[in-house]
Amino acid sequence: VTTVLSPDDRTRLIASATAVRERAYAVYSSYQVGAALLATDGRIYAGCNVENANYPAGICAERSAIASAVSAGARAFSAVVVVTVNGVAPCGICRQVLNEFAPDMWVVGVDTSGHIHFERNLRELLPLSFSRADLA
Ligand SMILES: [Zn+2]
């Protein structure tokens, strides 16, 4: 797979997602997740998962990162790196939320050893997506 991330951006994103993963509030699942978004201006916004006693009230790391970025004024993104113990891909809800802002973003799944498990365009992870363009 051809990557669109520069080696420098890749290193920065992995470091950021790995660091924020340590702050995950995952007291129920013990499944810590860190996500780092690369804005088109080069800035990075990170987020971790925040669980809740009412399980559905929890939020994933990817959406946590989006909320942080949007709160800081960023809305255009080129990539997201997600770090977990086993390098998995974002869940369906997070794919939808990422798609709202950057349908062509590059998505990378990395494990805690820094090994890349997959990387591809969000369009491949969310085919036939529903977006604001569908709201006629
Ligand atoms: Zn999710």
33-51 residue pLDDT tens? 999 999 999 999 999 999 9
* 65: pLDDT strictly greater than 70: yes
Report the pLDDT averaged over residues 102-117.
Answer: 97
Q: Residue 136: pLDDT band by 50, 70, 90 thresholds? A: confident
Binning the chain into helix, strand and coil, the percentages to the nearest 5 are 35, 25, 40
Active site residue 124: no
Lowest mean pLDDT among 1-5, 70-74, 87-91, 116-120: 1-5
Q: Which of 62, 100, 119, 124 is catalytic?
A: 62
State in Å: Cα 49 to ligand 1 middle. Answer: 9
In this prediction, residue 2 carries a pLDDT of: 55
Instruction: Give yes or no for residue 3 having a pLDDT over 60.
Output: yes
- Cα-based angle 106, 130, 87 (whole degrees, multiple of 5): 35
Output the pTM of the full model. 0.95
60 alpha carbon to ligand 1 midpoint, in Å?
4
Share of the chain above pLDDT 70, in %: 98
| The pLDDT value given to residue 4 | 81
Separation between Cα atoms, residue 70 and residue 124, nearest integer Å: 24
Q: Could you tell me if 32 and 49 are in contact, meaning their C-beta atoms sit under 8 angstroms apart?
A: yes
